[in-house]
A and B are shown apart, each in its own frame.
Chain A
C-alpha cells in the first residue's frame, strides 16, 4: 500500500482516479450525477423525527427517541454516542433494513421503505462471503445489476479492487487476507455499486490501531472526490478521534433511549493533523457532550 504525502493526498488520488476511469465511461456517469445534483437541492439524506421501540417480553423498550438529522451534498456525517445507545439501529433504519416505530427517512425527498440501490453499506465485521474470492465478493454485490454483462461486472470489480489497493489479490479468499485488506474488499464492494450514499457501521473498530489509522488516512479521499458517485457518507463510530479526523458534521447521541444531544460542524481544514491542538479542542467538545 502506497501512502501519499498528506498535502497531496486528495489531488494525487484524483489524478489516479480520473486516469483509471478514463477508458471506462465513468465520466458520463459523473456527468449524469451532476445533473441530478442540480435537480435536487435539499439534503441527500433527511432523517425526520425517528423513534424506535423494541418489544421484549411484553415490555416496550424505547431505543431511539425523536431523532432528526440530515446529510447534505458532499458531507461526511458521523453519528457517535455511548455504546449500546442504538447508533447501529439508526444506521440500519437509514439503510432501509429496519422499520421505525414513528418518523421517516428520506433519500433526496423520497421516503426510504426498503434498501435502495443508491445506498451502500460497509460493516464493522466486513461480512464478506468466505467461500468467494475477493473478486467474487465484489461481483456478488453487482448481481442485481442486470444492465451489466458478466464481463462488465468483472471489469468493474477489478477496477475497484485496484482502486482500494488490492491489485493482485483478486483471487484470494477472505480467510487469507488481513483485517485491513478485508475491509478494503468491503469498501470496494460498496463502491462498485456506484452508490450516492455510503453508510459505514464502525468501519475501523475491528482493525488494530495501526491498520485503522492507515485506512482512515486514505478513506476520505477514496470516498469523496470529484469522480466519485458518492454524495454523502454517514458513519457510525464510538471513536471520537476518528470522528474528528473524518467528519464534516458530527451528531452526538445520548444513552438509551437515544436522542440528539448535540450537532456540530467540524470546520478543521483537511488534511487533519491528529496531534494538533485544534484537533484536541474538537475532541474535547465532543467528549463534553458525551459525558
Chain B
C-alpha cells in the first residue's frame, strides 16, 4: 500500500470518529437533560422511563432506512446523510447513558439532596454542583461500555447508506472497507480493518480509560467490581443486565429494577406491547402522510396491498426466525464450552481475554466482503455474519457469570474428588445457566439487528455481493433500495412485534425459571 492510501484511511477514521464523538456529546447532553428531569420529577419519570424502555428494546438498525428517508426528505444534502448516521449512533448510545444518569441521580444519598434544598441554593447550582457531578461516573462507565455497540452501528450505517447513490456517505472507515472490497483491493481492505482495530485499542487507552479513571473521583461509594474490569466483557454483561431488566420490568414476581413500580399499571404485557405498536404505527402513518407532500410515496397504501405485503413479510420473518435459531444452536455449541473453559483457568483467562476482546471488537459487517469472497453461498455468509454478531454475547456473559461465582464453588470439585464430566454436568453448566440465558436473550436480539446486513448486501447499484433466498433483513434492505415505504414499515413493525411477543411469551418464562432454579445466591 502506498502512504497516500494510508493517509486516506486515516482521514476516513477521522470522519468516523468525529461522527461517533458528536453522537456521544449529543447523547451526554440528552442524558443529562432527560435523565435528571426523570429522576427529579415524578410526572416526567412516568413518561420518560417507559419511553426509554421501548426505545431500548426495538431493533434500531431496522429503523435506520426509515430514519434516513425521513432526514433526507428534510435536508436533502450530504449534511442530511451525516446527520442520519449520527442520529443512528446517538440512538445506540443515548438510552443507556440516560438510564445511567437517571439511576445515578436517583441514588444520590438523601442527605445530599436535603442539603441542596437549602433556601440559598438555586436550581441551577443544584444541577451543576450536585446532579451533574453525581452522574459523571455513570456517564463515563456507560460511555466506555456502549462504545463497542456504537461502533457496530457506525460501520453498519456507513455501509447501509451506500445502497442508493442519491444519499451516500462519502467518507468513513466503513465506506473505506466496502469500497476497497468492491474494487477487489484486498490489501487496502486488510489495511483498513487493521487500522480500525488499532484505532479501537488506542481510543480505549487514550480516551475511554482516562475518562473512566478521571470520573472515579465523583463516586459516592466504592463499588466492588470483582473480576469484571475488562471493559468489553463488562459491556456485554452490563448490556445484558440492562436489556433483561428492561424486558421484564413489568413483571411483578421479581424486583429486577428499582423503578419497576412505574410499570405496575401495565399489568398485561400484551396490552402494553399493542399500545406501543399502535403508537409507532400511527407515528409512521403520520410520517408517511407528511412524506406525501415531499413526494416520496405517491399515495397511501390500500388495505389489499397492505395484506399482500404483510403476507410476504410474514414468510420472510419465518425464514429469518429459523435462520437465527439454527445459528444460535451453533453459537451455544461453541460459546458455552469456550466461555466456561476459559473462565475456569485463571492463566488462560488472563491471556485469552484481551485476544477475544480484540476479535470481538471488529464489527461483523466489516468482515462481510471478505467472507463473501471465500464463499458465494448467500445462506452461509448470512449464517457467519449472524454467528459473529451473536456469539460474543454468549461467550462474555458465560465468562462474567462464571467469574462472578465464589472460588469455593470450584474448590468443591477437588475437595470431593469429582470427575471432570460430573463437574461439568453438576457444577459448571448449572452455574453458568442464568448468565447463559441472559446472554442468549440479548444475543438473539442482536441477531435480528445483523440481519439487515447479513441477508442482503449490495454496493452502489451493482449486483448484490451476497443474498439469501428470503428473509426479513433482505425485505428491509430491498425496500430501502427501492424506496418502498410500505414494505419497509410493515417489515420493521412485524419484526418488532415478533421480538416483543417472543420475549414476553418465551424468554420471560425461561428467564424466571432459570433465575429461580439456578441463580447462585448463598
A127 CB contact (under 8 Å) in B417, B422, B522: B522
Q: Tell which of B65-73, B407-415, B437-445 binds the partner.
A: B407-415
**Nearest-Cβ distance from residue A25 to partner chain B, whole angstroms:** 22
Interface size for chain A: under 10, 10 to 19, 20 to 34, or 35 or more residues? 20 to 34
Given A129-B430, A143-B418, A144-B419 in contact, is the A175-B518 Cβ separation under 8 Å? no
Q: Mark A190-230, 1 if CB is under 8 A from B, else 0.
A: 00010000000000001000000000000000000000000
User: Does A132 have its Cβ within 8 Å of any Cβ on chain B?
Assistant: yes
User: Does A121 have its Cβ within 8 Å of any Cβ on chain B?
Assistant: yes
User: Does B510 have its Cβ within 8 Å of any Cβ on chain A?
Assistant: no
- Which chain B residue lies CB-closest to A119? B415
**Nearest-Cβ distance from residue B14 to partner chain A, whole angstroms:** 36
B519-A127 in contact (CB<8A): no
**Nearest-Cβ distance from residue B253 to partner chain A, whole angstroms:** 14
Please name all residues of chain B whose beta carbon is closer than 8 Å to the beta carbon of A142 when the two chains form the complex: 416
User: Does A95 have its Cβ within 8 Å of any Cβ on chain B?
Assistant: yes
Given A97-B411, A132-B426 in contact, is the A125-B522 Cβ separation under 8 Å? yes
Given A114-B414, A144-B416, A144-B417 in contact, is the A127-B427 Cβ separation under 8 Å? no
User: Does B517 have its Cβ within 8 Å of any Cβ on chain A?
Assistant: yes
Please name all residues of chain B whose beta carbon is closer than 8 Å to the beta carbon of A182 when the two chains form the complex: 522
User: Does B109 have its Cβ within 8 Å of any Cβ on chain A?
Assistant: no
User: Does B10 have its Cβ within 8 Å of any Cβ on chain A?
Assistant: no
Please name all residues of chain B whose beta carbon is closer than 8 Å to the beta carbon of A128 when the two chains form the complex: 522
Please name all residues of chain B whose beta carbon is closer than 8 Å to the beta carbon of A193 when the two chains form the complex: 416
Complex Cα distance A173/B522, Å?
12
A127-B418 in contact (CB<8A): no
Q: Mark B376-418, 1 if CB is under 8 A from A, else 0.
A: 0000000000000000000000000000001011011011111
- Which chain B residue lies CB-closest to A132? B426
Given A127-B406, A132-B426, A143-B422 in contact, is the A97-B415 Cβ separation under 8 Å? yes
A127-B409 in contact (CB<8A): yes
**Nearest-Cβ distance from residue A21 to partner chain B, whole angstroms:** 22
Given A97-B411, A130-B519 in contact, is the A117-B406 Cβ separation under 8 Å? no
Which residues of B486-522 have CB atoms within 8 Å of chain A's CB atoms? 516-522
- Which chain A residue lies CB-closest to B418? A143
Given A140-B426, A143-B422, A206-B522 in contact, is the A127-B416 Cβ separation under 8 Å? no
**Nearest-Cβ distance from residue A5 to partner chain B, whole angstroms:** 33
Q: Mark B54-90, 1 if CB is under 8 A from A, else 0.
A: 0000000000000000000000000000000000000
A126-B430 in contact (CB<8A): no
User: Does A135 have its Cβ within 8 Å of any Cβ on chain B?
Assistant: no
**Nearest-Cβ distance from residue B290 to partner chain A, whole angstroms:** 55
- Which chain A residue lies CB-closest to B433? A131
B521-A175 in contact (CB<8A): yes
Complex Cα distance A171/B449, Å?
44
Question: Could you say which of B416, B417, B430 has the most chain A C-beta atoms within 10 Å of its C-beta?
Answer: B416
B415-A125 in contact (CB<8A): no
User: Does A141 have its Cβ within 8 Å of any Cβ on chain B?
Assistant: yes
- Which chain A residue lies CB-closest to B427? A129
A131 CB contact (under 8 Å) in B411, B412, B518: B518
**Nearest-Cβ distance from residue B430 to partner chain A, whole angstroms:** 4
Please name all residues of chain A whose beta carbon is closer than 8 Å to the beta carbon of B418 when the two chains form the complex: 140, 143-144
B521-A95 in contact (CB<8A): no
Please name all residues of chain B whose beta carbon is closer than 8 Å to the beta carbon of A96 when the two chains form the complex: 414
B426-A125 in contact (CB<8A): no
B522 CB contact (under 8 Å) in A126, A131, A132: A126
Complex Cα distance A103/B520, Å?
36
Question: Could you say which of B412, B433, B516 has the most chain A C-beta atoms within 10 Å of its C-beta?
Answer: B412
B519-A125 in contact (CB<8A): no
Which residues of A139-166 have CB atoms within 8 Å of chain B's CB atoms? 140-144
Complex Cα distance A143/B408, Å?
18
A130 CB contact (under 8 Å) in B415, B416, B417, B520: B520
User: Does A120 have its Cβ within 8 Å of any Cβ on chain B?
Assistant: yes
Please name all residues of chain B whose beta carbon is closer than 8 Å to the beta carbon of A143 when the two chains form the complex: 416-419, 422, 426
User: Does A123 have its Cβ within 8 Å of any Cβ on chain B?
Assistant: yes
**Nearest-Cβ distance from residue B7 to partner chain A, whole angstroms:** 39
Complex Cα distance A142/B518, Å?
22
**Nearest-Cβ distance from residue A264 to partner chain B, whole angstroms:** 29
User: Does A262 have its Cβ within 8 Å of any Cβ on chain B?
Assistant: no
Please name all residues of chain A whose beta carbon is closer than 8 Å to the beta carbon of B426 when the two chains form the complex: 129, 132, 140, 143
Given A127-B406, A132-B426 in contact, is the A120-B415 Cβ separation under 8 Å? yes
**Nearest-Cβ distance from residue B425 to partner chain A, whole angstroms:** 11
Please name all residues of chain A whose beta carbon is closer than 8 Å to the beta carbon of B406 when the two chains form the complex: 125, 127
Complex Cα distance A32/B519, Å?
42
User: Does A115 have its Cβ within 8 Å of any Cβ on chain B?
Assistant: yes
Complex Cα distance A96/B415, Å?
8
Which residues of A74-106 have CB atoms within 8 Å of chain B's CB atoms? 92, 95-97
- Which chain B residue lies CB-closest to A115? B414
Please name all residues of chain B whose beta carbon is closer than 8 Å to the beta carbon of A129 when the two chains form the complex: 412, 426-427, 430
Please name all residues of chain B whose beta carbon is closer than 8 Å to the beta carbon of A114 when the two chains form the complex: 414
B430-A127 in contact (CB<8A): no
Given A125-B408, A129-B426, A131-B517 in contact, is the A140-B522 Cβ separation under 8 Å? no
Which residues of A212-250 have CB atoms within 8 Å of chain B's CB atoms? none
A141-B416 in contact (CB<8A): yes
Q: Mark B415-459, 1 if CB is under 8 A from A, else 0.
A: 111110010001100100100000000000000000000000000
Please name all residues of chain A whose beta carbon is closer than 8 Å to the beta carbon of B520 when the two chains form the complex: 130
Given A127-B406, A140-B426 in contact, is the A115-B415 Cβ separation under 8 Å? yes
Complex Cα distance A131/B419, Å?
18
Please name all residues of chain B whose beta carbon is closer than 8 Å to the beta carbon of A125 when the two chains form the complex: 406, 408, 522
**Nearest-Cβ distance from residue B422 to partner chain A, whole angstroms:** 6
Please name all residues of chain B whose beta carbon is closer than 8 Å to the beta carbon of A123 when the two chains form the complex: 408
Please name all residues of chain B whose beta carbon is closer than 8 Å to the beta carbon of A144 when the two chains form the complex: 416-419
A115-B417 in contact (CB<8A): yes
- Which chain B residue lies CB-closest to A174? B522
Please name all residues of chain A whose beta carbon is closer than 8 Å to the beta carbon of B521 when the two chains form the complex: 130, 175
Query: Can you name 11 A-B residue pairings with CB atoms under 8 Å?
Result: A96-B414, A125-B406, A127-B411, A129-B430, A130-B519, A130-B520, A142-B416, A143-B426, A144-B418, A175-B519, A206-B522
Closest 10 CB pairs of A and B: A144-B417, A131-B430, A127-B408, A125-B522, A115-B414, A141-B416, A123-B408, A115-B415, A131-B518, A121-B415
Q: A125-B408, A126-B522, A127-B406 are in contact. List 15 more A-B contacts (CB 8 A).
A: A95-B415, A97-B414, A115-B415, A117-B417, A121-B411, A123-B408, A125-B406, A127-B522, A129-B412, A130-B521, A131-B433, A140-B416, A142-B416, A143-B422, A144-B417
